Each structure stands twice: as C-alpha cells, then as structure tokens.
Amino acid sequence: MKRRLRLYTPGSKQIKPNHNLNRCPSCGKYKRSHFLCMSCFFEIKQLWSEQAEKPPVYEEEFANPADERVLYPKTYERPHVKKLRLKEYVEKRPKPLPVEK
C-alpha cells in the first residue's frame, strides 16, 4: 500500500519520466545523455581485462593427471565446486531493445 501511495502521490513525489535519452554514437543503442552506453562499457571492460597483465602461472611438477592421482588418491572435485567453476549462476545483463531508424 505504501508503495502505491508513493507512486501515485501528487506533485513532485511522482515518478518522473526520463527525458534525457540519446543514442550511442558507436553502437546506436539508447543511453542516458552524458553517460556511457552499457554495451560499449562492457566491451571496454572486457578489452581492459584481456589486456591486463596476468600473473605468471606456475607449472606443476606433475602435468600428467595420472601422476596426480597416484600422489593424491583421495582428492576429487566435488559437484558444488564444479558448479561454481561453470559460473552459470551469474545472471547476464539483458540486451536492450533494438533502435528504430
């Protein structure tokens, strides 16, 4: 009930429509003026993360999985750890509506 009252109250308390919308000059999707387009932002973020220096990966002495099984016989990957590695639980951002020309 409170939410409905807040939404439909008179005057300056009402939710105002957003009139400062433009098209992104690079991809053409809608964005707020004076802000970065979210699709372009994620492209830049991905580019920067790929270019960032990654720490050197140390190679194990035993690269063969059979050697590891002999050394550590009771270690195995649990199902919840496999699920975490897949990252399917992370929701992806929905794509915006297409721009009409």
- Give CA–CA dist 11/24, Å, rounded: 32
- The whole-model pTM stands at 0.42
Q: What is the pLDDT of residue 63?
A: 66
Query: pLDDT, tens digit, for every residue of 20-77?
Result: 999 999 988 999 999 999 999 999 999 998 888 777 766 666 667 777 777 777 777 7
Q: Looking at residue 82, what DSSP letter applies?
A: H
- Give CA–CA dist 69/33, Å, rounded: 58
Task: Supply 47's token pair.
Answer: 């580019």
Task: Supply 21's token pair.
Answer: 């919308």
Whether the pLDDT of residue 2 is over 70: the answer is: no
Task: Supply 48's token pair.
Answer: 């920067």
User: Which is higher by pLDDT, 3 or 38?
Assistant: 38
Measured in residues, the chain has a length of: 101
Q: What is the pLDDT of residue 95?
A: 82
CA 13: distance to chain centroid? 33
Task: Supply 45's token pair.
Answer: 């973020």
Whether the pLDDT of residue 3 is over 70: the answer is: no
User: Which is higher by pLDDT, 47 or 91?
Assistant: 47
